């Protein structure tokens, strides 16, 4: 039978998104022109040239984006969402002074389940409007963050925070672990939320606690997410207390491995980069936070040349002061070029990979998100490229990284659902965000430097 002569009716799908360009972030496919993405339920079921798609598929929800590029949702590989309401309370200070004299006192005063839920929802709104569909978080009261994630419709990997110090969340590291397990159990079966063990940093976690964390991460089959080599002071402190640099201490304890993500990695020796590669570890590069806190510039070019997987994060808004992945992509690329004195270092397509598929790999989610491919979740972002102030466009991927800002994001889909469109959220009301700010700003203002 010759199927060419059959008059087959177009197949029905839930959503069809037609775009001028498609940045799939699939290896050796820079971008596609005049392509459509077909979505059924939460999954991409086909990618076709738009004219062909119109003949083969129909949908009650067809979005035509003639001047846009469609790309995978951005993945923020390191942040503290609930610090969103702390932006600007302590600026222009080095890390330990910033923490000890301002951030930790502010947290002692306000951090609670309600605060974390409210502040995290505020962060989710900021991220969705800027094209971020998934974030890797580390903070107190992760169940509160989970409630905000569920309301917003985002995707998140939530850290089960561990620290030795008593606070409003837990009395000590063991209490942190117990509360973390309860949180992890509370979102079992939720396909939008995953977990990682989140020891805060080598300077706040003991060897005994790290050993427990390794065991529990293996038992639960989840990753480990921590701060590492963010400042020179951190390294000096470790050498004094433990007789070793932090990464060597963690290596001796057995933490390094393919499930290990280190935030920052600013001060790494070549031999330590070799260790990261040999153990299959991941780095969450946070360029804006590292610069603002005066911590330094991470050796990203050297990490990438040595095949260490590097993603991009914003860190929290208290040290950034934005959760803006477009700004981080651009800055990451420019810093790498300047530090290496090589303009070919970290080209635009690689910066985009760091903010999408590389981050997905670090979270163990690259089989589901990070690229636009058939069978993957429909986490998609539309960016308007034909505005006069950023025209003309010759290379849409280069334009994404070097020219566009988060203000050019028009649509954000997560798991096939439109969660943000032209200033409006599916599940977050602007009035709710205003009430959150009104509620918490007076309580935090007294801690402003």
Question: Which residues have a Cβ under 8 Å from the Cβ of 73 and sit 6 or more positions away?
Answer: 131, 132, 133, 134, 155, 356, 369, 379, 380, 381, 412, 413, 414
pLDDT band at 449 (very low <50, low <70, confident <90, very high): low
Structural domain contains residue 182: yes
- The model's pLDDT over 259-301, given as tens digits with 9 standing for 90+, comes to 999 999 999 999 999 999 999 999 999 999 999 999 999 999 9
56/121 same-domain check? no
Return the number of other C-beta atoms located less than 10 Å from residue 178's C-beta.
Answer: 12
> Cα–chain-centroid distance for residue 325?
8
79/50 same-domain check? no
64/82 same-domain check? no
21/51 same-domain check? yes
355/400 same-domain check? no
66/85 same-domain check? no
49/123 same-domain check? no
Q: Which residue has the higher pLDDT, 98 or 278?
A: 278
67/78 same-domain check? no
Peptide bond just before 383 cis, omega within 30 deg: no
Structural domain contains residue 187: yes
Q: Report the predicted TM-score, pTM, of the whole model to 2 decimal places.
A: 0.97
- The model's pLDDT over 347-363, given as tens digits with 9 standing for 90+, comes to 999 999 999 999 999 99
pLDDT band at 446 (very low <50, low <70, confident <90, very high): confident
Structural domain contains residue 436: no
Q: What is the average pLDDT score of the chain?
A: 96
48/185 same-domain check? no
158/50 same-domain check? no
Average pLDDT of span 409-437: 98
In this structure, are residues 134 and 73 in contact, taking their beta carbons and an 8 Å threshold?
A: yes
Residue 3 confidence (pLDDT) = 37
pLDDT band at 129 (very low <50, low <70, confident <90, very high): very high
48/130 same-domain check? no
Asked whether residue 4 carries a pLDDT value surpassing 60, the answer given is no
Asked whether residue 384 carries a pLDDT value surpassing 50, the answer given is yes
Instruction: Count up the domains in the chain and report the number.
Output: 2
93/68 same-domain check? no
- The model's pLDDT over 151-198, given as tens digits with 9 standing for 90+, comes to 999 999 999 999 999 999 999 999 999 999 999 999 999 999 999 999
Question: Which residues have a Cβ under 8 Å from the Cβ of 65 and sit 6 or more positions away?
Answer: 17, 18, 19, 20, 382, 384, 410, 411
By residue range, what is the domain housing residue 118? 74-362
Asked whether residue 137 carries a pLDDT value surpassing 60, the answer given is yes
- The model's pLDDT over 359-379, given as tens digits with 9 standing for 90+, comes to 999 999 999 999 999 999 999
The CATH number of whichever domain residue 260 belongs to comes to 3.20.20.140
């Amino acid at each position: 039978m010759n199927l060419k002569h059959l008059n087959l009716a177009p197949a029905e799908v839930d959503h069809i998104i037609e775009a001028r360009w498609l940045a799939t972030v699939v290896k050796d496919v820079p971008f596609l022109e005049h392509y459509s993405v077909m979505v059924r339920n939460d999954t991409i079921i086909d990618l076709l040239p738009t004219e062909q798609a119109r003949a083969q598929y129909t949908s009650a929800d067809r979005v035509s984006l003639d001047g846009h590029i469609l790309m995978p949702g951005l993945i923020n590989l390191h942040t503290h969402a609930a610090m969103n309401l702390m932006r600007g309370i302590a600026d222009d200070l080095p890390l330990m002074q910033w923490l000890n004299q301002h951030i930790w006192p502010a947290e002692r005063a306000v951090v609670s389940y309600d605060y974390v839920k409210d502040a995290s929802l505020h962060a989710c709104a900021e991220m969705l409007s800027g094209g971020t569909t998934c974030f890797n978080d580390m903070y107190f009261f992760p169940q509160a963050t989970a409630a905000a994630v569920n309301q917003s419709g985002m995707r998140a990997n939530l850290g089960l925070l561990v620290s030795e110090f008593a606070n409003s969340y837990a009395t000590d590291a063991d209490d942190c672990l117990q509360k973390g397990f309860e949180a992890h159990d509370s979102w079992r079966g939720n396909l939008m939320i995953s977990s990682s063990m989140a020891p805060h940093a080598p300077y706040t976690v003991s060897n005994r606690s790290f050993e427990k964390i390794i065991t529990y991460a293996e038992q639960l089959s989840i990753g480990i997410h921590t701060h590492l080599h963010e400042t020179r002071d951190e390294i000096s402190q470790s050498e004094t207390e433990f007789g070793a640099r932090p990464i060597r201490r963690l290596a001796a304890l057995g933490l390094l491995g393919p499930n290990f993500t280190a935030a920052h990695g600013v001060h790494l020796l070549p031999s330590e980069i070799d260790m990261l590669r040999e153990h299959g570890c991941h780095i969450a590069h946070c360029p804006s936070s590292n610069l603002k806190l005066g911590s330094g510039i991470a050796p990203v070019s050297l990490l990438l040349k040595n095949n260490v997987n590097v993603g991009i994060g914003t860190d929290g808004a208290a040290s950034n002061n934005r959760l803006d992945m477009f700004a981080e992509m651009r800055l990451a690329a420019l810093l790498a070029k300047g530090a290496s004195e090589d303009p070919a270092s970290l080209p635009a397509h690689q910066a985009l990979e760091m903010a999408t598929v590389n981050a997905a790999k670090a979270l163990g989610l690259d089989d589901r998100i990070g690229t636009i491919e058939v069978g993957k979740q429909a986490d998609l972002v539309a960016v308007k490229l034909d505005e006069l102030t950023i025209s003309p466009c010759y290379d849409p991927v280069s334009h994404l990284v070097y020219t566009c800002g988060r203000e050019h994001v028009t649509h954000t889909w997560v798991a096939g659902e439109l969660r943000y469109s032209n200033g409006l959220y599916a599940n977050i009301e602007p009035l709710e965000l205003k009430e959150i700010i009104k509620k918490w700003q007076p309580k935090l203002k007294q801690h402003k430097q």
